[in-house]
Copies of this chain bind each other. A is one copy, B any other.
Amino acid sequence: MTEPAADPLASDLLRGHTDTIVLSVLQRADRYGFEIFKAIRQATGGAHEIKEATLYATYRRLQKDGLVESYWGGETQGGRRKYYHVTDAGRAVFHRNVAAWNTTRDIIDNILQIGK
Contacts and interface: CB of A to CB of B under 8 A. Distances in A.
Nearest to A39: B114
Contacts of A38: none
A74 interface: no
A95 to B, nearest CB: 9
Interface stretch (A22-30, A54-62, A64-72, A77-85): A22-30
Interface residues of A, number: 42
B10 A100 contact: yes
Q: How many copies does the complex hold?
A: 2
B48 A107 contact: yes
A15 B10 CA distance: 11
A43 B10 contact: no
A20 interface: yes
Nearest to A45: B107
A16 B17 contact: no
Nearest to A25: B114
A96 B108 CA distance: 15
Interface of A: 8-17, 20-21, 23-28, 39-40, 43-44, 47-48, 94, 96, 98-101, 103-105, 107-112, 114-116
